[in-house]
């Protein structure tokens, strides 16, 4: 495997872990009124930035609607969040293949290069996947580890 294939595999593995949390999330956790940042919002936020940081530059791409932290909103349906996840999976395969990993990150003053931005993005996905796993723990939801994954 070359570097880009490894990056793609790890993105897809991280997204598979996030998907498990989304799919297995009980309805009472998805939009729990006691949570400042709802489960659905954290999942969406994670995918929003994954999509954004996969792009060649921070411009000229279709931006998703971005709900604001702490603002009362209607919960985004689980199937809609999962559609965004599929979009990010497709972007992983397309965008990483075209990336100049040694090139500028595309974000003014943000990280050294495209490779570092992708590692940052992977860490961001896993950070929030872990956060969502913790929210599921009291409900005895079982989620498995994904070490690598190639696009079928």
Domain range summary for the chain, segments of one domain joined by +: 3-139
CA proximity to 10, closest of 91, 116, 108, 123 = 123
For the chain, the helix, strand and coil percentages under 3-state DSSP, each to the nearest 5:
60, 0, 40
Helical segments of 25-113, H only: 27-30, 39-54, 78-98
Give the C-alpha separation, 9 to 47, whole Å: 17
Report the CATH superfamily, name and number, of domain 3-139: dinb family like domain (1.20.120.450)
DSSP symbols for 111-123: -SSHHHHHHHHHH
pTM score of the predicted model: 0.90
- Give pLDDT tens digits for 6-16: 999 999 999 99
d(C-alpha 10, C-alpha 30), whole Å = 26
Q: What is the pLDDT of residues 42-59, one digit of tens each?
A: 999 999 999 999 986 655
């Amino acid at each position: 495997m070359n570097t880009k294939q490894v990056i793609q595999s790890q993105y897809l593995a991280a997204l598979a872990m996030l998907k498990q949390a989304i799919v297995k999330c009980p309805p009472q956790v998805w939009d729990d009124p006691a949570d400042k940042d709802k489960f659905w919002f954290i999942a969406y936020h994670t995918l929003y930035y994954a999509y954004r940081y996969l792009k060649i530059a921070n411009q000229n791409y279709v931006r998703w609607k971005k709900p604001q932290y702490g603002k009362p909103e209607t919960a985004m349906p689980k199937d809609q969040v999962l559609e965004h996840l599929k979009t990010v999976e497709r972007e992983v395969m397309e965008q990483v293949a075209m990336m100049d990993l040694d090139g500028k990150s595309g974000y003014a003053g943000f990280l050294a290069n495209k490779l570092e931005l992708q590692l940052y993005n992977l860490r961001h996905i896993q950070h929030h996947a872990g956060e969502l796993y913790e929210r599921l723990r009291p409900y005895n939801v079982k989620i498995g580890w994904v070490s690598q994954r190639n696009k079928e």
